[in-house]
Amino acid sequence: MRVQLAKQLLDQQIVDRDGRLVGRVDDIAFAADADGYPYVDTLLTGQAALGQRVGGRLGRILVAITNRFVDEPPVLPVRIPFTLVERVDSAVRLRVRAADLPPPPVESWLRRHLIDRIPGAHRASG
């Protein structure tokens, strides 16, 4: 059976078990089993993964801009183990909540340095 991963996974929205948007599948990491057969191990999301996938000058610019918005560059992609995927249909649906995943580094930086400084930001619904 031929699986077209690019069509089925890349750029698909990732949603948690509550239907909240986590991000998009920007790249895929593979591993090999004991017999050497490849399988999807991890979904990669975030600006760093997208920049690396796009490649070339545009990809390098995206990664460079992303690295300006973190305290400790380089930014690494957020890695979501494929074992956390419940199913793939119109989106990649996870069996966990977004809060159970590692926070995206750029979003964390923006929250600390920008959003949290807005008066009343802590009262906004999340």
- Which is more confidently placed, 76 or 2? 76
Quote the CA–CA distance of 57 and 8 in Å, as a whole number. 27
The predicted model scores a pTM of 0.79
pLDDT in the model for residue 121: 66
Which structural domains are found in the chain, ordered by start?
5-123 (2.30.30.240)
Give pLDDT, residue 71.
83
Question: Using one digit for the tens of pLDDT, what is the confidence trace for 85-94?
Answer: 999 999 999 9
Q: Which residues pair with 39 in a beta bridge?
A: 31
Q: What is the full DSSP assignment across 23-37?
A: EE--EEEEEE-TTS-
| Alpha-carbon gap, residue 114 to 108, rounded angstroms | 10
Among the listed ranges 14-28, 34-48, 78-92, 112-126, which one has the minimum average pLDDT value? 112-126
